[in-house]
Every structure is written in C-alpha cells, then in structure tokens.
Structure 1
C-alpha cells in the first residue's frame, strides 16, 4: 500500500510502516538534517534490496563520503525525500513531486497518509515557556496543511499523530476544528491516547493517535494487542551489548559491541548487525559530573530523584533555586525511560545514564534505542542534530505494530 509521510522528521513513522510492508512514496520535511537522514535511510533500503549493503557499511565506517554513498543510489530513490516547508506557497510544487513518484508505481493511488505537524505549539513544555501561551504561534494551524493533502489525494485511511496537548490547546478549539474539517473532507475519525510502552518501546511516551477512514468503509478504531508491563525490556537490558563510555568518549562506525552480550530487542539489533555507530557521549563539566553522580547515588539509595535545592550549595550554580527543581533526571536501569524529547539536543541533564561507573548522560545511540530506532539507522549531521531528530520522532516499533495491525484490517475491507 502506498504511503505519504508528512512532517516526516527523521522518519520514525516511515520506518515502522516500511518494516510492516508498506510502500513509502514520499517523505516531506523541512529540516535539512532530517532530510539528509531520510535520504541515507532510503540509500540503506535500496542497497539492501540490491544486495550491496557493504557500501552502506563502508559509509558507516567512514571509508566513503556521503556523496559517494548517494552516488550508488538512483536519483529517483533519493528524490523521494522532498525537502520543503509545508505551506500554501509550496503546496503545488510538493504535490507535483509526489505525483511524479506516484507515476512510477503500478498502483498510482495513495492508500494512506501519515504524519503529525510539529507539536511544540501543543506541548505543555512549549506552552509554559511562551508568554503568550502559544496563542499566536502559526504551528497551531499546520493541521490545516495536513488536511489539504487529505483532500488532494483522498487516501483510504490516514494517521495523525501528536502530543496529548493538542486535545486541550486553546480550550479544545483547535482539536474540535481539526475533527470538523476532517469530517467535512469525507472521513470518519476516532482517536486514542496511546503509550509507546504498550507496543514494546522501553519508554513511557503518550501520544494522540487519530485514525481517519473514508466514510464508505465499515471500520472502527482498532483494539491493539497491547503488551503486558512484564514483557517490557528494561534500560539495563536494552543497553546490555553496548560498550561502556565515559563523558566525552565515542564509538562511531566500529565493530565494537560487547562480546557475547545478550541482544535484548531484535527489532533494534539482529545478531548479524556488527557495526556500532553514533555511540557518542557528551563532554560534561566537573560540576555536572558531580551532580550526575549524586543523582544516581540518591536514586540507588532512596529510589527517588534529588531536587536541585537538595544538592550541596557548591553545586547549585543557578540563581533561581525556587522553581525548576527537577533539573536532573536519570534513566532508571531496572525500569523504562521517561519521554525522550527534543530538548535532549540542548543538554543531557534529564537523561543521566544509570551506571555510576560511566557517569554521563546517555549517548546518541542509547537515545535512539530508547526510541526503538534500529542500530543500522544513521542520523545525519551533528550530534545536536541527531539528538533533536531522535527526540522529535515517533518510535518506529510503535509505528510498526500500528501499521501491522492496520494492514490486516485494511486487507479485509478494501
């Protein structure tokens, strides 16, 4: 089934749907680094299909450049990534390019549109930081651009993903308007707040998943087969085969997994995958390292996080000690992570590694694993860009389970 991915980011939704057997027609994304990531992932799948994955492996090991990697891939594959801002001005140009890709398909109908507009305008963190409570933010209305693609391509189904805050944003007016506009476009809709941990992701991450279907179909919101808490993979198990790093150290493009260590999640890494990339740890100053050590020790001893005003006075370098007391959080070894968000690109204080011996925030690869990205997935450009892409993404494993369930249902009714 043919899929268009809007506001694609690094491609978490695309990755899950692709692994479930869907055909991704186009990814539309404005961020340059995310687009590079999407192109590199397209290169991976193409080279895998023609049994030349050794070229991709050479790229990860820094033996060839990105240009050399892309030179092995036809332009029509790389051009599936449409680097453009989704707005009224660019709409015709974007759809022209999508139509070009559709023309290459035997079946030229769009079966599914997936994606979700940037969520900062609806997130509690974004609203709390903005003095106007995001009321004038143009991102409040990017859902209207999403609907334009629904009207243009009339897909059989669509999936709209966003943060919980979209339901209550602007006293619920935005979400009500979204539902009315989608209904007027000819679709029945329903939504649930789903948690990534219920789909096998080692992370507590709640998101609104709205599903729409053409009104001629007899369909209802699926009852997904949710996993039991006992089946969740802990952070210590998830990181088990990754080599230890200290602050500032990195392993990027080497065959360096821990020997004979158990692989906890086969979606993330199969036993055949040997190249570890982007296991990159930040450099931390001495004060942060001292605080990280205190946070982990306090958790191990009392099973609770230490507040900022509970730190030794010599470690309290911020003037404001009355608010934002939860400046530091660790990722618990025996449990699962709290939500990975894009702020991880700015610092690692909310994502402290639970191992005292390593004493650092989590690496790029560890963050990617918490989000359920496969180890063969490479995030382009800087470490900061990689963290941002990871924090903004839909967990691929969650997308895979949703896509697999829908695929079986769609076969019955279409």
Structure 2
C-alpha cells in the first residue's frame, strides 16, 4: 500500500502510516524546516532498511553534516519530499513530480491520501481574534486543493485531519461545502472527533478525523477501541537529564526507559538522546513557574493569573486567559494539549520539577506528542517546537493506519474470493 501526504508538516501522520508498512509516494509541505525534517526522516528509514543506521547515528552526534547524510541515501527517496506551497499556480508541477515518483515505483495507483490543511484558520482562538471570523483567510479554502488530489489520483480512501473548529466555522457552512465537494469528487465521508488519549498518547488532544472512500466500494469508517492504561506523564519524563534554562544535554539518558517508552516505541536500547534543549527564562518567569508548581504539588490546583502577586504580573488583563501558566503535571495520566504556541514561550508547558524551573525541552515536548527519540527535527529551536505542536501524534496516526490497512486488505480478499 502507498500514500501521498499533503500539508505534511513534520510527518506525524505519515510516521504512523509508514510504521504500518505503507510506502510514501510524496510528502508536500510548504515550510522549509518541516520539509527538511521530512527528508531527514526519509533518510532514517532508507538507512534502516539498508543496514546504514550507523550513518544516521553519526549525524545525530554531529559527526557528519546533513549533506553527508543525504549522500548515503538514494536521491529518489529524498525527491519524494516536495517543499512547495499547494496552490493553483503550483499544483500542475506538483502533479508532475508525483507522477514521476509513481513511475519510479512502477505503479500508477495511489491507495491512500492523507493530511490536513493548516488548522489555525479554523481554530476558535483564531476566529476570536478575527472580526471577520476568518472568512477572508485563504487558508479556509485549502481543502479545495486537497480535493483536487482526490480527483486526480482517485485513492481508494483518504484521511483528512483538522481541529474541531472546522465543523463550526462560518456557522457550519464551511464544513457543508467540504462535504459537498468531496461528494462531487466521488467519495462517501464520515467525520468524528477523536482524542489522542484514546490511542495511548499521554495527552488530551481532540481532533477531527474525516475518512472518505470511493462510493460503492463498501468501505467504511472504522471503530477505535479506547486504550485503557495506568501510565503517568512521569513515565515520559523521568529518564531525562535535569536541565537549567537555556541548557542542552544530549547523548546520555539519566535512567533506563520506562515500560511506557519501550512498549510504544518511543525509546529503544540503541537510541541516542538528542534535542534535549531548554529555552532560556528570566528570573521573573521562573518565580511564577515556582508558584505554579508549588500550587499544583500542594493543592492540585492550577495557577490562575489572579493568583500571581501583583508585583509579578506583566499583563493588565485579569479577566481573560487566566491560565497562561500551566504545569505539565507528572502525576496525571495525560498532559494538556500540546499546541504550536509552545514555540513562542513555554509558560503553558512548565516542567513539573521545582528544582529545574523551566519549560519543557524540545525532546520532552516531542515525547508528549509520542514522537520516538530517533526522530530528528530540523531547524532552530523555535521551528522544532512549531513542528511538534502542529503534528498529529504518531501513536494516534499508527492506530488509524492499522485500521485503514485492515479495511483495504479485507476488500482485496473479498475481491479475490469473488473472482474465484
């Protein structure tokens, strides 16, 4: 089975499909750093398949450059990543590149299309700040570009991911249009709001997962079992070396991996700790972090902005956004939602250890999103956080991919039985 990933970001959704044996035909992503991350991940899988992981590990240890890493990889693999914006002006060229990739794989058929347009345009916060409710934002209409790929490649099935706000944007009219043009393209669809915590991700993260299939094929939206467990957020933090703000400590873990990390493929025995990078913080913010941690540890209460002594406040607004400072509680089963705002400051993602008084490191944030430790994010620290915050958690993606694979394989078996 193969797939095309649109608006691919850092590749969280793609990661899940690759783990289930799907082969990428193309990843299309407009952000240069995210596209570089996709290339490096493609290099990882190529080297893993061809017995060259020692080369990848040398890259992680800064012993070779990225160009030297890529020299060890088949150029056709790297060319499957297209750093392009999907628009009316670029789409024909993108189609041409995808056609060449399909030809290299000696096929003309695309099994699955995955991806979701940038979601800020549909977010409730985004709409609250826009007096026109985002109706003039061009990102609202990127789903129309998505449908052009359905019309061109006619995949058997597609997965379209987005924030719940897409269902209510424009008083529901926008989503009605989404359904209409997908119907006109020849697909039955169903959309459900799923939470990443259902799939073993230690994070509460609600997303719309829309699945569509070619009309008349008998395909359907799969049911997902709720993943019950006794793990805590501490299971993804306890083996990480302590950091002070602005510090980086790579290559050596602080302890053996927890059962959670092993079981879910986040850390294995041969992994190398990388990108355990903490952003700098001033003393003023660290005082507030201390208050937030103490209040959680002693009372299990979240710090409100009005709880902060007046001398420590920097905002005059004490009626809205009162939860600006939030501890990632290690004694809960789930973290709160990881979003791209973590790239701007870490106030909403305070590390629970009062001795460190910092926000989460890049690697800790990636773990909350269920990215494996061997997943390397390209770009400066801010770009890494943005990629992580925007991603689909790979564990969630893998569960979806597993069900999609079962559905498609069962269909093939039925077709074989009918032909005998």
TM-score scaled by structure 2? 0.95
Deviation string 1:5-41 (CA, Å, 9 cap, x unpaired) is 0000000011000001101110000000000000000
C-alpha distance in 1, partners of 2:238/2:254?
8
C-alpha distance in 1, partners of 2:8/2:258?
33
- Note the C-alpha offset of 1:232: 5.2
- Note the C-alpha offset of 1:261: 4.8
- Asked if 1 retains the 8 angstrom alpha-carbon contact of 2:234 and 2:331, the reply is yes
C-alpha distance in 2, partners of 1:284/1:242?
19
- Asked if 2 retains the 8 angstrom alpha-carbon contact of 1:6 and 1:146, the reply is yes
- Asked if 2 retains the 8 angstrom alpha-carbon contact of 1:240 and 1:264, the reply is no
- Asked if 1 retains the 8 angstrom alpha-carbon contact of 2:266 and 2:367, the reply is no
- Asked if 2 retains the 8 angstrom alpha-carbon contact of 1:188 and 1:213, the reply is yes
C-alpha distance in 2, partners of 1:105/1:356?
53
Q: Could you say if the C-alpha distance between residues 194 and 261 of structure 1 is closer, same or farther in structure 2, counting changes exceeding 3 Å?
A: closer
In the other structure, the counterpart of 1:281 is: 278
Deviation string 1:346-401 (CA, Å, 9 cap, x unpaired) is 00011001111121100000100000101000000100000000000000100001
Residue pairs, 1:7-406, within 5 angstroms: 7-228=7-228, 231=229, 233-252=231-250, 254=251, 256-266=252-262, 267-335=264-332, 336-406=334-404
- Note the C-alpha offset of 1:327: 1.0
Aligned residues: 410
5+ long unaligned stretches in structure 2: 413-420
5+ long unaligned stretches in structure 1: none
Of 42-51 and 263-272, deviating more is 263-272
Indicate yes or no: 2:405 matched with 1:407. yes
SS of the residue aligned with 1:209? strand
C-alpha distance in 1, partners of 2:218/2:288?
56
C-alpha distance in 2, partners of 1:216/1:107?
23
C-alpha distance in 1, partners of 2:270/2:384?
21
SS of the residue aligned with 1:147? helix
RMSD: 1.2
TM-score scaled by structure 1? 0.97
C-alpha distance in 2, partners of 1:243/1:113?
40
C-alpha distance in 2, partners of 1:232/1:177?
42
Q: Could you say if the C-alpha distance between residues 329 and 82 of structure 1 is closer, same or farther in structure 2, counting changes exceeding 3 Å?
A: same
C-alpha distance in 2, partners of 1:157/1:232?
34
Deviation string 1:151-172 (CA, Å, 9 cap, x unpaired) is 0000000000000000000000
